[in-house]
């Protein structure tokens, strides 16, 4: 098992800065997910940990030992690639046991360890097959089994589920997480899929433009994003980010956008701002005086059975032109149609206010705790 530390890591490809000032500590046995859009530097960061890329500057420590310049094969880390990287001419059994054969381990011991890993991943009936005879999900399990038998200090996963269909991705997420919990092996997992990040991670590292934007547990990041990027990246559907203005008027501080007005705390300064509203925070009208009351004109309805997603145009009063577009997530099935006016309420504590740079304004909403 292992603790991992990135200290001031940077990576340049020519004049292009791919990773900048990357600092992160990962505890022994922790499951950490690096998430972000394509090109944000998450895979490059993982490859530097694996020893497949050399940092331009900074250090990487494994259990307190500097491994920045240690060859990849000597790092005792096991990586599962997006393509799985199975040897096509070898059987499943040979693929899983390949690293053990390189160590000149006795054949009987290799067979024992391969059989144990294959049984754990329920692929023991596939040992004689070649990779071309396997489904995508089976290949993914073989790649994981090959990593297990190495008994590495840490698992590294580079988007291992991206080639699977939606149903298989769901089951594979559960299998990988359960396996990691059983083994207790430190794991660093890269994905662009925020659902994978939310459902699998002990902690999530959100990256953008080669930099870490926020680190925390899934719920910390979901409930308390520190910037517009994190708020809009996590969640499906994502946070509604409404651009508007902050103005002081008649002793009040207000955030205003077309068809929308929200009272703010006194310390918020004038200027451009963004209001973040989670889709599930938009609820059918309540009588709570502390809630923000709105009306939305229904534009499109997605009935999903357990929940209903509604695209709306918000207005602050009946008859106003609806121009602030949002998505609401309502539990259950709702018989709504385009053009219908829907009275809504929002709990002020669920709102987030961001400044013109996109950073959160702590305690920005009047009546919400600071």
DSSP readout, 311-326?
Answer: EEEEESSTT----EEE
Query: What average pLDDT score do residues 294-321 get?
Result: 82
CA 110 to CA 94: how far, in whole Å?
A: 10
Query: What average pLDDT score do residues 266-273 get?
Result: 93
Residue 218 counted as domain residue? yes
Note whether 153 and 76 are same-domain residues. Answer: yes
Tell me: the pLDDT tens digits for 122-149?
Answer: 899 999 999 999 998 899 999 999 999 9
What 3-state class would DSSP assign to 43?
helix
CA 224 to CA 50: how far, in whole Å?
A: 32
Strand order in the sheet with 341-347: 282-284, 341-347, 291-303, 307-315, 324-331
Which of the four pLDDT bands, split at 50, 70 and 90, describes residue 367? low
Task: Give the residue numbers spanning the domain of 311.
Answer: 237-354
Which of the four pLDDT bands, split at 50, 70 and 90, describes residue 316? low
- Classify strands 307-315 and 291-303 as parallel, antiparallel or unpaired: antiparallel
pLDDT given for residue 322 in this prediction: 46
Note whether 51 and 68 are same-domain residues. Answer: yes
What residues contact residue 170 under an 8 Å CB cut-off, 6+ apart?
Answer: none
Residue 120 pLDDT exceeds 50: yes
Note whether 141 and 9 are same-domain residues. Answer: yes
Note whether 204 and 276 are same-domain residues. Answer: no
Range in 38-52, 173-187, 323-337 the model is least confident about? 323-337
For position 256, which CATH number holds? 2.40.50.140
Residue 362 pLDDT exceeds 90: yes
Residue of 27, 6, 150, 15 whose CA lies nearest to 80: 150
Residue 298 counted as domain residue? yes
CA 67 to CA 369: how far, in whole Å?
A: 45
- Token pair for 252: 């009040």
Note whether 64 and 180 are same-domain residues. Answer: yes
CA 24 to CA 207: how far, in whole Å?
A: 12
Q: DSSP letters along 82-131, please?
A: TT----TTS-HHHHHHHHHHHTT--HHHHHHHHHHHHHHTT-GGGTTS-G
Which of the four pLDDT bands, split at 50, 70 and 90, describes residue 320? low
Residue 105 pLDDT exceeds 70: yes
Query: What average pLDDT score do residues 239-250 get?
Result: 92
Note whether 227 and 241 are same-domain residues. Answer: no
pLDDT given for residue 360 in this prediction: 96
Residue 369 counted as domain residue? no
End-to-end CA distance of the chain: 40
Note whether 193 and 245 are same-domain residues. Answer: no
187, 216, 232 - which closes a domain: 232
Note whether 84 and 184 are same-domain residues. Answer: yes
CA 239 to CA 218: how far, in whole Å?
A: 15
CA 365 to CA 146: how far, in whole Å?
A: 52
Residue 361 counted as domain residue? no
Residue 196 counted as domain residue? yes
What 3-state class would DSSP assign to 145?
helix
pLDDT given for residue 370 in this prediction: 43
Query: What average pLDDT score do residues 206-213 get?
Result: 97
pLDDT given for residue 357 in this prediction: 95
CB 326 within 8 A of CB 252: no
Query: What average pLDDT score do residues 164-179 get?
Result: 88
Note whether 329 and 194 are same-domain residues. Answer: no
192, 210, 232 - which closes a domain: 232
Q: What is the mean pLDDT of the chain?
A: 91
CB 92 within 8 A of CB 120: no
Residue 352 pLDDT exceeds 90: yes
Note whether 278 and 262 are same-domain residues. Answer: yes
CA 257 to CA 105: how far, in whole Å?
A: 68
Of all residues in the chain, the percent with pLDDT exceeding 70 is 96
Residue 113 pLDDT exceeds 60: yes
Q: Helices H, strands E: what count in the chain?
A: 8, 20
Give the dihedral of Cα atoms 103, 104, 105, 106; nearest 10 deg: 170
pLDDT given for residue 366 in this prediction: 80
Q: What angle is formed at CA 145 by the lines to CA 140 and CA 147, rounded to 5 degrees?
A: 100
Note whether 228 and 154 are same-domain residues. Answer: yes
- Classify strands 341-347 and 282-284 as parallel, antiparallel or unpaired: antiparallel
For position 77, which CATH number holds? 3.40.50.300
CA 272 to CA 320: how far, in whole Å?
A: 23
CB 343 within 8 A of CB 239: no
CA 45 to CA 49: how far, in whole Å?
A: 6
Residue 61 pLDDT exceeds 60: yes
Report the range out of 59-68, 250-259, 299-308 with the highest average pLDDT: 59-68
Residue 319 pLDDT exceeds 80: no
Domain count, the chain: 2
Query: What average pLDDT score do residues 97-120 get?
Result: 92
Note whether 184 and 266 are same-domain residues. Answer: no
Which of the four pLDDT bands, split at 50, 70 and 90, describes residue 255? very high
Residue 36 counted as domain residue? yes
Element (H, E) at 61: strand 57-62
Tell me: the pLDDT tens digits for 175-184?
Answer: 899 999 999 9
Residue 360 counted as domain residue? no
Crossing angle (nearest 10°) for helices 92-102 and 107-120: 130
Residue 78 pLDDT exceeds 80: yes
HEC profile of 56-77: CEEEEEECCEECCCCCHHHCCE
pLDDT given for residue 83 in this prediction: 84
What b/e sequence results for 33-44 when a residue is b if at least 16 CB atoms lie within 10 Å of its CB, and e otherwise?
bbbbeeebbbbb
Which of the four pLDDT bands, split at 50, 70 and 90, describes residue 249? confident
185, 209, 232 - which closes a domain: 232
Residue 208 pLDDT exceeds 80: yes
């Amino acid at each position: 098992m292992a603790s991992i530390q990135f200290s001031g890591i940077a990576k340049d490809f020519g004049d292009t800065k791919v990773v900048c000032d990357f600092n992160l500590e990962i505890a022994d046995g922790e499951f950490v997910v690096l998430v972000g859009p394509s090109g944000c530097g998450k895979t490059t960061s993982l490859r530097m940990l694996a020893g497949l890329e050399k940092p331009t500057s900074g250090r990487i420590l494994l259990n307190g030992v500097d491994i920045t310049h240690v060859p990849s094969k000597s790092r005792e880390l096991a990586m599962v690639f997006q393509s799985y990287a199975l040897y096509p001419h070898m059987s499943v059994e040979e693929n899983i046991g390949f690293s053990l054969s390189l160590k000149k381990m006795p054949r009987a011991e290799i067979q024992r360890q391969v059989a144990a890993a294959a049984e754990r991943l329920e692929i023991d009936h596939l040992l004689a097959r070649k990779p071309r005879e396997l489904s995508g999900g089976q290949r993914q399990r073989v790649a994981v089994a090959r990593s297990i038998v190495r008994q590495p200090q840490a698992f590294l996963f580079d988007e291992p589920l991206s080639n699977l269909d939606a149903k298989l991705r769901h089951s594979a997420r559960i299998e990988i997480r359960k396996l990691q919990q059983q083994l207790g092996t430190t794991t660093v997992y890269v994905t662009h899929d925020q659902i994978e990040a939310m459902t699998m991670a002990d902690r999530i590292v959100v990256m953008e433009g080669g930099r870490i934007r926020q680190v925390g547990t899934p719920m910390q990041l979901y409930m308390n994003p520190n910037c517009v990027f994190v708020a809009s990246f996590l969640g499906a559907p994502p946070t509604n980010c409404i651009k508007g203005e902050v103005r002081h008027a008649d002793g009040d501080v207000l955030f205003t956008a077309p068809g929308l007005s929200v009272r703010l705390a006194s310390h918020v300064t004038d200027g451009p701002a963004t209001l973040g509203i989670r889709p599930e925070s938009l609820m059918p009208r309540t009588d709570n005086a502390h809630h923000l009351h709105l009306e939305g004109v229904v534009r499109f309805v997605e009935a999903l059975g357990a929940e209903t997603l509604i695209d709306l145009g918000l207005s602050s009063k009946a008859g106003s032109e609806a121009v602030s577009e949002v998505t609401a997530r309502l539990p259950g099935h709702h018989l709504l149609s385009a053009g219908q006016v829907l009275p809504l309420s929002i709990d002020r504590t669920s709102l987030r206010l961001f400044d013109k740079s996109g950073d959160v304004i702590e305690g920005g909403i009047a009546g919400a705790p600071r």
